Amino acid sequence: EEAVNEIDETAQRAKLTFVIVGGGPTGVELAGALRQIAVQEIQKDYRNIDTSTARVILVDANDRVLKSFEPSLSARAARDLEKLGVEILLHSRVTAVDEQGVVIGERRIDANNVFWAAGVLASPLGKALGVPLDRSGRVIVAPDLSVPGHPRVFIAGDLASVMDTKNNQPVPGVAPAAMQMGNYIGKLIRNEIVSGVRPEDRPPFEYRDKGSMATIGKAKAIADIKGWKFTGFFAWLIWSLVHLMFLITFRSKVSVMLNWAYTYVFQSAGARLITGDFKPQIRTFRDVTPNG
């Protein structure tokens, strides 16, 4: 909307530039969605600008996007993103962000839209406990998810830093992991109340990885489910079905399914409402012609 009313070409280009920092599932899905919207869904809504010229730049410090996935799936995701027109900058660290753009090493990119998808710090509550933390501020818990030195205090979810006993890798900060932690802690408390199990006899928490998925765009996704790898339309279909399964009511499932079907067929989000105050940038120029 701001780009439509911007008459300065450089400023307009900055308004149509989107930089996403972080090449994990969040960054990849956001990059693909932005390019898809700009190229396929809203072009017809604007006559004074070409939205397909919008730049979407995905920046990551690693050697590939989706580092937590198998290299073959990461490579497929990168190819799909590039086909959509996403610019991928690997081995790149953002060193500064301001209102006009970002600085990547010694390179500056003018962009009015910067999205941080490279992770967040944990709740400051962890610091108040006075126990060891990891670099993200998460509490390094014992194998039974208890706070070191406090066997009756448990931490689950994003605030817990715990290693997977199967591969000695950190348990990812995703919803399935948090749900499993909550169930595990609940069973521990119940067993100690009902059966009198001692804290030193607790079994360690074991994370069950049910698979990972990421969407890149319309009918484009990757999935790794218990060693089975899927790409393209079939992976996107699996991603859609899994999300529908976890909706609470049957009505919600049907409503979302119909909405997705409408969007898929008509390449439209159905309704796009512009809310909030918007002040167009109107500039007047003095007539300097001889007869003016």
Find, among 243, 177, 228, the residue nearest to 73 by Cα: 228
Active site amino acids: 29
3-class secondary structure per residue, the chain: CCCCCCCCHHHHHHHCEEEEECCCHHHHHHHHHHHHHHHHHCHHHCCCCCHHHCEEEEECCCCCCCCCCCHHHHHHHHHHHHHHCCEEECCCCEEEEECCEEEECCEEEECCEEEECCCCCCCCHHHHCCCCECCCCCEECCCCCEECCEEEEECCHHHEECECCCCCCECCCCHHHHHHHHHHHHHHHHHHHHCCCCHHHCCCCCCCCCCEEEEEECCEEEEEECCEEEEHHHHHHHHHHHHHHCCCCHHHHHHHHHHHHHHHHHCCCCCCCCCCCCCCCCCCCCCCCCCC
